[in-house]
């Protein structure tokens, strides 16, 4: 049985048994917060438990490394939508120890891209179009650096409403312990 078949079979029973009722909420975050965090599998259930939020409490945006690399990209657009349309009032960037983005090697990944069937011609076209894959696939030297850079990018964004606190935290992906590395209430 494929993963998709398993998901669809489970989902049918989930809906038939009305298990969704335990998760009913509105699209507006009750705690008026946006959490930007890493897509690491260890954080899927640990992060909400360690931060004491449940379905409906916060908007969660996940990507590799909890990094916003483009000030006008899709992650920052999601932040703006949450702030302007969904009543969010605060942002927390949560990185974690042992993040794969800290060890990301652009050259290694480009080799993997080639091994998986992407041609030199495609890579050359991207490079000649101004897309520098080695820059785009760059990680960060330390998790603290990555979190602080993202916090600063958000805080300096020209569309960020005045007075919105932007915080930075680092989580231990084993215990869930949080370390505050940038507190946004005093820096506004």
3-class state of residue 57 by DSSP: coil
Q: What is the distance between the alpha carbons of residues 61 and 33, in angstroms, rounded to a whole number?
A: 11
- Helix H, strand E, coil C: the string for 58-101 is EEEEEEHHHCCCCCCCHHHHHHHHHHHHCCCCEEEEEEECCCHH
Q: Give 168's DSSP letter.
A: E
Distances from the Cα of 40 to the Cαs of 23, 123, 172, in angstroms? 23, 27, 12
Known binding-site positions: 38, 40, 96, 99
Known binding-site positions for Zn(2+): 38, 40, 96, 99
Q: What is the distance between the alpha carbons of residues 96 and 161, in angstroms, rounded to a whole number?
A: 27
Backbone angles phi, psi at 167, to 5 degrees: -110, 160
Q: What is the distance between the alpha carbons of residues 151 and 140, in angstroms, rounded to a whole number?
A: 14
Q: What is the distance between the alpha carbons of residues 95 and 64, in angstroms, rounded to a whole number?
A: 10
């Amino acid at each position: 049985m494929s993963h998709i078949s398993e998901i669809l079979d489970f989902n049918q029973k989930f809906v038939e048994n009305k298990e969704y009722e335990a998760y009913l909420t509105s699209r507006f975050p009750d705690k008026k917060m946006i959490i930007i965090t890493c897509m690491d599998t260890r954080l899927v259930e640990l992060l909400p438990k360690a931060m004491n939020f449940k379905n409906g409490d916060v908007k969660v945006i996940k990507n590799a490394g909890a990094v916003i690399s483009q000030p006008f990209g899709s992650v920052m657009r999601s932040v703006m939508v949450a702030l302007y349309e969904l009543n969010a009032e605060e942002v927390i960037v949560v990185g974690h120890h042992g993040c794969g983005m800290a060890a990301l090697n652009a050259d290694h990944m480009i080799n993997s891209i080639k091994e998986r069937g992407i041609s030199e011609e495609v890579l050359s076209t991207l490079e000649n179009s101004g897309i520098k894959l080695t820059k785009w696939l760059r990680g960060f030297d330390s998790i603290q650096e990555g979190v602080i850079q993202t916090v600063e990018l958000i805080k300096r964004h020209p569309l960020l409403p005045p007075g919105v606190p932007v915080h930075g935290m680092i989580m231990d992906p084993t215990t869930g312990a949080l370390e505050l590395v940038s507190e946004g209430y005093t820096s506004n």
